[in-house]
Amino acid sequence: MTQPEIKDMTIDVSILIVNWNTVDMLYNCLESVYKETSGIKFEVIVIDNASSDKSVEMVREKFPDVILIENEVNCGFAAANNQGLEIAQGRYALLLNSDTVVLENAIAKTYTFAEANSEAAVVGCRVLNSDRKIQSSCFMFPSILNLCLSSTYLYKLFPRNRFFGRELLTWWDKNSINEVDCVSGCYMLVRKDAIDQAGVMDERFFMYFEETDWCYRFKKYGWKTLFTPEAEIIHLGGGSAEQVPVKMTLLLKGSMLLFFKKHNGILIYIAACLLIALFFFIRIPYWLLMSFSSQKDKKRKCLQTAYSYILGTWYALTGGRGLYKLGRVK
């Protein structure tokens, strides 16, 4: 597939796609990028984290214009994106998940919005589920209050309540331009000038919360993170994470603790560790009971989940460091 002819050879957007064993989703994502992007000059960089499903071969055969980086090990989302950023030539970098589908020139629309809002380091767009319902893609920065509220699941019962729904902004219909704390890394347009000032992604975050940390650092330098409803994508979700769901849960909580440790004082970090430990601990009895009542083929899975939550409880109570590594997928 080829890009449309554009007289100005300056690259506007470098599209970075990190992939790990999502060959079919990656194909659909790349196809949508080339089909639905016009009016801007762009390059596509795929960073493959040691896939074993023929993803690399597919990219070479079907998308020869793609710049392909092949890693021998799974180095994580942040480190892989940093590899792409190192060679990216665009004035903006777009972090795009492999399990997304670009709709109706969304990338050019986001680029145009960013050009009109020079104070924005990051721009996010409307993210839809496969049924076209709005997906949560804008968030507040982690805090003890937000951690407590999210654990109660009251935001699901009262989604329009600004207090219970504050962390995920569930009260907001995503139909208006808004400044937010952070946007999902599944679609994240980032200004290169802001990256030059705040630095690249923190590679200590193997997966999850690396984009949150990035937005937090941009804000410290005076930049904004903005959301525009003018552009839309579909995010199927869980392309890589669904392959190891329990490990991803451990890694999610570990990455959250790493964020607390990096940006908050020791007392807040200890409180976060205790709340995360409680999150894991109260779920252990459920999975143990499920193992007794399940058929043989599901019994082992339930026991493995219970064991993982026991480990999660222990590591959270002992400082959280183990969670940073426990869920990593090699």
Which domains occur in the chain, in start order? Answer: 13-137+174-235 (3.90.550.10), 244-326 (no CATH)
Its pTM stands at 0.88
Bridge partners of residue 16, in order along the sequence: 45, 95
Report how far residue 51's alpha carbon sits from residue 271's, in angstroms, rounded to the nearest whole number: 38
DSSP string, 182-251: EE-TTEEEEEHHHHHHH-S--TT-SSSSHHHHHHHHHHHTT-EEEEEEEEEEEE---TTGGGSHHHHHHH
The answer to whether the CB of 30 falls within 8 A of the CB of 99 is no
- At 128, is the secondary structure helix, strand, or coil? strand
> What is the enclosing helix (H) or strand (E) of 58?
helix 55-62
pLDDT by 10s per residue, the chain, length 330: 444 444 345 899 999 999 999 999 999 999 999 999 999 999 999 999 999 999 999 999 999 999 999 999 999 999 999 999 999 999 999 999 999 999 999 999 999 999 999 999 999 999 999 999 999 999 999 999 999 888 777 888 888 899 999 999 999 999 999 999 999 999 999 999 999 999 999 999 988 899 999 999 999 999 999 999 999 999 997 544 454 567 778 888 899 999 999 999 999 999 999 999 998 999 899 989 888 877 777 888 888 889 888 988 988 998 777 676 654 544
- Selection from 52, 54, 56, 53 nearest residue 17 by Cα: 56
Report how far residue 324's alpha carbon sits from residue 202's, in angstroms, rounded to the nearest whole number: 13
Residue-level pLDDT at 9:
54
What is the 3 state secondary structure string of 299-310?
Answer: HHHHHHHHHHHH
Residue-level pLDDT at 305:
87
The answer to whether the CB of 186 falls within 8 A of the CB of 241 is no
> What is the enclosing helix (H) or strand (E) of 261?
helix 245-263
Phi-psi map region of 125: left, alpha, beta (phi>0 left; psi -120 to 50 alpha): beta
277-282: long-range contacts, CB 8 A cutoff, minimum separation 24: 277/312, 277/313, 277/316, 277/317, 278/151, 279/151, 279/253, 280/253, 280/309, 280/310, 280/312, 280/313, 280/316, 281/309, 281/313
The answer to whether the CB of 16 falls within 8 A of the CB of 45 is yes
Q: How many residues does the chain have?
A: 330
DSSP code of residue 37:
-
Report how far residue 90's alpha carbon sits from residue 101's, in angstroms, rounded to the nearest whole number: 21
Residue-level pLDDT at 3:
46
Amino acid letter for position 161 = N
**Structure tokens given for 318:** 């002992």
The 10 Å CB-count burial string (b at 16+, else e) for 126-145 is bbbeeeeebbebbbebbebe
Residue-level pLDDT at 325:
63
- Selection from 125, 126, 138, 120 nearest residue 191 by Cα: 120
DSSP code of residue 173:
-
How far is the CA of 231 from the CAs of 11, 189, 317, in angstroms? 20, 12, 43
Residue-level pLDDT at 300:
83
Residue-level pLDDT at 172:
94
CA atoms within 13 A on the CB side of 197: 14
